[in-house]
Amino acid sequence: MLWYILKLLVLLPLIGAMIWGSLRLASKLQGRLGAPQGGSGRSVRVVETVMLSPTQRLAVLEFHGREILVATGRNGLTRLGEAPARETVDA
């Protein structure tokens, strides 16, 4: 019984740390997976995303010099607005 409790005290924090680390890695890589690589010739770029709920998200897409605000959800994409693309300032 003591051996079981000792294993539990060692393995439970280790599993928790592995879960926490994989969630951190997933959140860091989330924006990079859909981003185009330099010189790939893609015309659509995701500027920013905001999660509203587990099933709904707002996204700003840049397409041919325009920024388009879309909502994503269970029913697909809905265009909410459009504006000229802002100039990006590289630091």
Residues 72 and 50: their CA atoms lie apart, in Å, by 10
- Sign of the alpha-carbon dihedral angle for 70, 76, 78, 84: positive
Residues 76 and 55: their CA atoms lie apart, in Å, by 11
Residues 28 and 65: their CA atoms lie apart, in Å, by 27
Residues 41 and 36: their CA atoms lie apart, in Å, by 8
Its pTM stands at 0.51
- Sign of the alpha-carbon dihedral angle for 81, 84, 90, 91: negative
Query: What is the pLDDT confidence band of residue 90, given thresholds at 50, 70 and 90?
Result: low
pLDDT digits (tens, 9 = 90+) for 36-84: 455 556 788 888 999 999 899 999 999 988 999 999 998 899 999 998 8
